Chains A and B, each alone.
Chain A
């Protein structure tokens, strides 16, 4: 149980709670409170992964969300997750992690030959190499993916549970460092509803990484006091382990809370693993801190080269010494803190500062502590492969462009680098705030806000602790005030004692004395292996825009989204172009800030909850009787009812024959039903439908076509006059919601003076349609038979009566072309009605049929289905339905468009029937194109397409409906239907679209 690099005391780890974990199969130990990264470092493990393109050995770069190197495959089986940042993975007992991008092992990796051939993998390599032939891309991609790793996705179903939560708040504070804590405190004391969010396991931010004091006490104690007060406030919600993943319009923010990710527990089915918050905040305070920039020097990617601030965090927060002999390489004062802390912890520390004669309180403190400071110098090379073994140092010119003199070699096992700090402006940018470049920080800082937000502290470019605290306080107060709260007793900013810092010397590429790309690499983007030489190459190849540079080099396009690399790359590019950094511009920051798994985004909307299923009252009966179901919109409709041993074709043939030779029943409950009432109801229908409605007698039904204003069919159905001012409209199953919206649109926007009210009653009714020669016998046996006679209930009328003792509306309408009764009862009695009809029909051999038989039956009659024969470009005349278009009643929606030149053409595609010529059993394919003249190869002129095709047992052969240019004038003509699978095109004859009972006598019987 050796943690050789764990300090004897200190840190915020729980030494009473040791933890065992596995990395690449080796058993290691750490403590509760560790991250995977800190525990690996405590065990002296620096080599943790291979890079994406060159497969170079990589170590741990940072101690936070910006980590681009130390990505691991976490957990196993269906819970495994790739690309987890080891710096953000809380250590738990039994944790299992694997390194990525290596084969067969981390220490010996075959693909690292890429590194030797790297001159063949320059910027834009994908674009250059794999351009031709395009069809080879699939092959290339496979090879690249294998080599590139990227981790593995889980194969099984995710066993975890994820939740969504919607929340309003007055002030959302993003970041729980000094600025965020003060903001939350100020807003909380004002009585505002506050949500305080931080990615880390505990609040405190940078205060947990240092050794300083706040208000005369250790910073961590001060944090604890503030947290106690915040926890005591009823309106304050504290969310640790939570990332603000996106900042959208109108202060809508998404948060990813990792509820149980830090526990080893198996899912218990109750506690969510993650919670995805969707928050609408009146005001937002951004206190997201800053991310340290790497310096760009030769072989700056070797394991053991770390960000200086991260080294501090490991020493102070985790009590881990990342190295015993450290070189600190910096262009600013902040890294001197790291040197001091390392020295205090027992390591040796040498500072290499690119600045000549730096002067600042921290520099003086380091000097006083006996730390060797080499000023005006630069690391020109890092030695070592899987771990840093030393550095070469040379004199740097004043402009930072060249190195001179001999090189000095220093042995070391740790290089702590600092190129300055970038305010974390990602969320600010996502909120559409504008950035400006701050010369004194050499970084982008928030300029003009767009949303109701304020930046405070380091993310605002204020790097001193006192400024962070003061700004946080002010921002919290202002946010509370703007959210409508009176601030009576504002807290005061705590006292801190802080050293005055010297300035920064921006240096974007540290010269090595050789040409870029020679003798090693200067990495900018560690995750995507983008080097300074790549940026330089893309500049030479003429890339000017930063957005193009990004895509060409893939800089900033890894899972870290360039958190450490963006500004460095832009600055190098600006330098090459001879313009200032702000002139070169900056790429757009887009959500999400943090990797967000699909599990969290989907929440509980998976499986049966993904899309609600609508079931009819008779659903269970259908299931019991072996129905196969079809989805129609959200409805589950019986498709066909196979008997044992029957194929689908067998079942459909049996069902369709029964409907014409005996009697059959179908569950028609899913048709859309809209109750339309009001004194202007008839006039309204007159305007909505193509035919006339004013004189429809009471109790009569009429078929109607609905058009859009462009004259094209968009829905159809039968509407019945229930009373003088009341109609029941039916719509297609899938179109019901759209039709209701359409009706309401006209009533509310164009004709508000009309007194008409529409209510959806689809769910209120259950409908059984009984068809066939014995339909009257079956339904009649359940009621007064005489009421169903041709005189009492003629075709296209409705009467109310009891059926099997259930009050019902009985419609004599028919979609099969047979004698049919459509019985409607209140939904709760639907199953009873269905059963009664089923029983009564037994002696007539009643057969339940599904949607497939229904489609065949209506096609035999040439009845169209909207959305099958029509596709939004079809007029009633195209469908041969001129008879339903009133020439007398005046205007209606779509009428004017009939006169448009294109709509009036007589060579438009028109509805026809098709018979196959050679094989009467061959069934065409819906969507199959039709040509008049076959050529050996495409293109051929297409004159139409098949819209419906079935085998019809009633007709005794296959039938098809189609739309064909000028089709009605081409009866008897032969066309050809080329087949997707090749072979001879199918010869077809154009016929009338009505295949059965052309005179329509059967339905009227």
Chain B
């Protein structure tokens, strides 16, 4: 079970959180301006990264804030935790 350092509350058990998949997938600004293929890509396609992966979590049994974290999918180590809107930090495995 992970120990996740919520940027608002500090380290808490994983059971307090929920993972919502890949981060930094912005909703297209003008959905009508893009093709069906591009829209489908936004809807359905996610990378299946081996290595550093940026993902969204929410502290749903805590402060209910959403944030991002960078996790090495091989070692399961959390390399960085950062707030929504912040640029993904450069991390080393």
A residues contacting B by CB (< 8 A) are: 248-250, 252, 280, 432, 450, 709-710, 741, 744-745, 748-750, 752, 891, 895-897, 899-901
Chain A residues touching B, majority SS = helix
Q: A891-B31, A897-B43, A901-B36 are in contact. Are A250 and B60 (CB under 8 A)?
A: no
Is there an interface contact between A252 and B84, defined as CB atoms closer than 8 Å?
no
4 A-B pairs with least C-beta separation: A896-B31, A250-B3, A748-B66, A252-B1
Is there an interface contact between A249 and B76, defined as CB atoms closer than 8 Å?
yes
Which residues of chain B (40-80) have a CB below 8 Å from chain A? 40, 42-44, 56, 58, 60, 64-66, 75-76
What residue of chain B has the Cβ atom nearest to residue A254's Cβ?
B1
What residue of chain B has the Cβ atom nearest to residue A432's Cβ?
B75
Additional 10 contacts, C-beta under 8 A, given A249-B1, A897-B43 = A249-B76, A252-B1, A450-B75, A709-B43, A744-B64, A745-B66, A748-B66, A749-B56, A749-B66, A896-B31
Q: How far is the CB of A923 from chain B (nearest CB, A)?
A: 39
Q: A744-B66, A891-B31 are in contact. Are A248 and B39 (CB under 8 A)?
A: no
Q: A709-B43, A744-B64 are in contact. Are A752 and B84 (CB under 8 A)?
A: yes
What residue of chain B has the Cβ atom nearest to residue A252's Cβ?
B1
Q: Is B85 an interface residue (CB 8 A)?
A: yes
Which residues of chain B (7-39) have a CB below 8 Å from chain A? 13, 18, 20, 26-28, 31-32, 36, 39
Please give, as numbers and ranges, the residues of chain A lying within 8 Å of B64 by CB-CB distance: 744
Q: How far is the CB of A173 from chain B (nearest CB, A)?
A: 20
Q: A249-B76, A744-B66 are in contact. Are A280 and B3 (CB under 8 A)?
A: yes
Is there an interface contact between A896 and B60, defined as CB atoms closer than 8 Å?
no
What residue of chain B has the Cβ atom nearest to residue A750's Cβ?
B27
Is there an interface contact between B3 and A252, defined as CB atoms closer than 8 Å?
yes
Please give, as numbers and ranges, the residues of chain B lying within 8 Å of A745 by CB-CB distance: 20, 58, 66
Please give, as numbers and ranges, the residues of chain A lying within 8 Å of B84 by CB-CB distance: 748-749, 752
Please give, as numbers and ranges, the residues of chain A lying within 8 Å of B27 by CB-CB distance: 709, 750
What residue of chain B has the Cβ atom nearest to residue A248's Cβ?
B1
Pull 9 A–B residue pairs with CB atoms less than 8 Å apart, ordered by A: A250-B1, A250-B2, A450-B75, A741-B58, A744-B58, A744-B64, A750-B26, A750-B27, A896-B32
Chain B residues touching A, majority SS = mixed
Please give, as numbers and ranges, the residues of chain A lying within 8 Å of B3 by CB-CB distance: 250, 252, 280
Q: How far is the CB of B91 from chain A (nearest CB, A)?
A: 17
What separation, in Å, do the CA atoms of A517 and B40 have in the docked complex?
62
Please give, as numbers and ranges, the residues of chain A lying within 8 Å of B18 by CB-CB distance: 741
Please give, as numbers and ranges, the residues of chain B lying within 8 Å of A896 by CB-CB distance: 28, 31-32, 39
What separation, in Å, do the CA atoms of A908 and B14 have in the docked complex?
41
What residue of chain B has the Cβ atom nearest to residue A748's Cβ?
B66
Q: How far is the CB of A713 from chain B (nearest CB, A)?
A: 16
What separation, in Å, do the CA atoms of A752 and B84 have in the docked complex?
9
Q: How far is the CB of B89 from chain A (nearest CB, A)?
A: 18
What separation, in Å, do the CA atoms of A897 and B13 have in the docked complex?
37
What separation, in Å, do the CA atoms of A745 and B1 have in the docked complex?
24
B residues contacting A by CB (< 8 A) are: 1-3, 13, 18, 20, 26-28, 31-32, 36, 39-40, 42-44, 56, 58, 60, 64-66, 75-76, 84-85
Please give, as numbers and ranges, the residues of chain B lying within 8 Å of A709 by CB-CB distance: 27, 42-43
What separation, in Å, do the CA atoms of A750 and B84 have in the docked complex?
9
What separation, in Å, do the CA atoms of A891 and B26 have in the docked complex?
15
Please give, as numbers and ranges, the residues of chain B lying within 8 Å of A750 by CB-CB distance: 26-27
Is there an interface contact between A748 and B2, defined as CB atoms closer than 8 Å?
no
What separation, in Å, do the CA atoms of A252 and B11 have in the docked complex?
13
What separation, in Å, do the CA atoms of A280 and B2 have in the docked complex?
10
Is there an interface contact between B76 and A900, defined as CB atoms closer than 8 Å?
no
Please give, as numbers and ranges, the residues of chain B lying within 8 Å of A252 by CB-CB distance: 1, 3
Q: How far is the CB of A722 from chain B (nearest CB, A)?
A: 23
Interface centre among B28, B36, B42 (most CB of A within 10 A): B36
Interface centre among A280, A710, A896 (most CB of B within 10 A): A896
Q: How far is the CB of B26 from chain A (nearest CB, A)?
A: 8
Q: How far is the CB of A864 from chain B (nearest CB, A)?
A: 24
What separation, in Å, do the CA atoms of A750 and B26 have in the docked complex?
7
Is there an interface contact between B31 and A752, defined as CB atoms closer than 8 Å?
no
Interface centre among A249, A280, A900 (most CB of B within 10 A): A249
What separation, in Å, do the CA atoms of A619 and B82 have in the docked complex?
45
Please give, as numbers and ranges, the residues of chain A lying within 8 Å of B26 by CB-CB distance: 750
What separation, in Å, do the CA atoms of A925 and B51 have in the docked complex?
49
Across the interface, B2 reaches (CB within 8 A) one of A249, A450, A899, A900, namely A249
What separation, in Å, do the CA atoms of A248 and B36 have in the docked complex?
44
Across the interface, B43 reaches (CB within 8 A) one of A250, A280, A710, A901, namely A710
Please give, as numbers and ranges, the residues of chain B lying within 8 Å of A748 by CB-CB distance: 65-66, 84
What separation, in Å, do the CA atoms of A797 and B77 have in the docked complex?
54
Q: How far is the CB of B28 from chain A (nearest CB, A)?
A: 8
What separation, in Å, do the CA atoms of A899 and B39 have in the docked complex?
10
Is there an interface contact between B2 and A741, defined as CB atoms closer than 8 Å?
no
Q: How far is the CB of A522 from chain B (nearest CB, A)?
A: 40
What separation, in Å, do the CA atoms of A252 and B2 have in the docked complex?
8
Across the interface, A741 reaches (CB within 8 A) one of B43, B60, B76, namely B60
Q: How far is the CB of A792 from chain B (nearest CB, A)?
A: 40
What separation, in Å, do the CA atoms of A432 and B2 have in the docked complex?
14
Q: A249-B1, A896-B31 are in contact. Are A752 and B85 (CB under 8 A)?
A: yes
What residue of chain A has the Cβ atom nearest to residue B40's Cβ?
A900
Interface centre among A709, A748, A897 (most CB of B within 10 A): A748
Interface centre among B43, B60, B75 (most CB of A within 10 A): B43
Q: A248-B1, A749-B84, A895-B31 are in contact. Are A900 and B66 (CB under 8 A)?
A: no
Q: How far is the CB of A867 from chain B (nearest CB, A)?
A: 20
What separation, in Å, do the CA atoms of A710 and B32 have in the docked complex?
14
What separation, in Å, do the CA atoms of A280 and B1 have in the docked complex?
10
Please give, as numbers and ranges, the residues of chain B lying within 8 Å of A248 by CB-CB distance: 1
What separation, in Å, do the CA atoms of A804 and B38 have in the docked complex?
58
Please give, as numbers and ranges, the residues of chain B lying within 8 Å of A752 by CB-CB distance: 84-85
What separation, in Å, do the CA atoms of A750 and B40 have in the docked complex?
18
Across the interface, A900 reaches (CB within 8 A) one of B13, B28, B39, namely B39
What residue of chain B has the Cβ atom nearest to residue A891's Cβ?
B31
What separation, in Å, do the CA atoms of A896 and B10 have in the docked complex?
39
What separation, in Å, do the CA atoms of A895 and B1 have in the docked complex?
39
Is there an interface contact between B2 and A897, defined as CB atoms closer than 8 Å?
no
Is there an interface contact between B39 and A897, defined as CB atoms closer than 8 Å?
yes
Please give, as numbers and ranges, the residues of chain B lying within 8 Å of A249 by CB-CB distance: 1-2, 76
What separation, in Å, do the CA atoms of A745 and B56 have in the docked complex?
10
Q: How far is the CB of B34 from chain A (nearest CB, A)?
A: 8
Please give, as numbers and ranges, the residues of chain A lying within 8 Å of B32 by CB-CB distance: 891, 896
Q: How far is the CB of A516 from chain B (nearest CB, A)?
A: 41
Please give, as numbers and ranges, the residues of chain B lying within 8 Å of A432 by CB-CB distance: 75
What residue of chain A has the Cβ atom nearest to residue B78's Cβ?
A250
What separation, in Å, do the CA atoms of A280 and B16 have in the docked complex?
15
What separation, in Å, do the CA atoms of A900 and B39 have in the docked complex?
9
What separation, in Å, do the CA atoms of A992 and B67 have in the docked complex?
47
What separation, in Å, do the CA atoms of A897 and B27 have in the docked complex?
13
Please give, as numbers and ranges, the residues of chain A lying within 8 Å of B2 by CB-CB distance: 249-250
Is there an interface contact between A900 and B65, defined as CB atoms closer than 8 Å?
no
What residue of chain A has the Cβ atom nearest to residue B85's Cβ?
A752
Please give, as numbers and ranges, the residues of chain B lying within 8 Å of A710 by CB-CB distance: 43-44
What separation, in Å, do the CA atoms of A897 and B38 have in the docked complex?
11
What separation, in Å, do the CA atoms of A891 and B18 have in the docked complex?
28
What separation, in Å, do the CA atoms of A741 and B2 have in the docked complex?
22
What separation, in Å, do the CA atoms of A480 and B70 have in the docked complex?
29
Please give, as numbers and ranges, the residues of chain A lying within 8 Å of B1 by CB-CB distance: 248-250, 252
What residue of chain B has the Cβ atom nearest to residue A711's Cβ?
B43
What residue of chain A has the Cβ atom nearest to residue B44's Cβ?
A710
What separation, in Å, do the CA atoms of A709 and B27 have in the docked complex?
10
What residue of chain B has the Cβ atom nearest to residue A895's Cβ?
B31
What residue of chain A has the Cβ atom nearest to residue B13's Cβ?
A280
Q: How far is the CB of A430 from chain B (nearest CB, A)?
A: 13
What residue of chain B has the Cβ atom nearest to residue A745's Cβ?
B66
Q: How far is the CB of A887 from chain B (nearest CB, A)?
A: 13
What separation, in Å, do the CA atoms of A436 and B69 have in the docked complex?
34
What residue of chain A has the Cβ atom nearest to residue B65's Cβ?
A748
Q: How far is the CB of A735 from chain B (nearest CB, A)?
A: 15
What residue of chain B has the Cβ atom nearest to residue A708's Cβ?
B43
Please give, as numbers and ranges, the residues of chain B lying within 8 Å of A280 by CB-CB distance: 3, 13
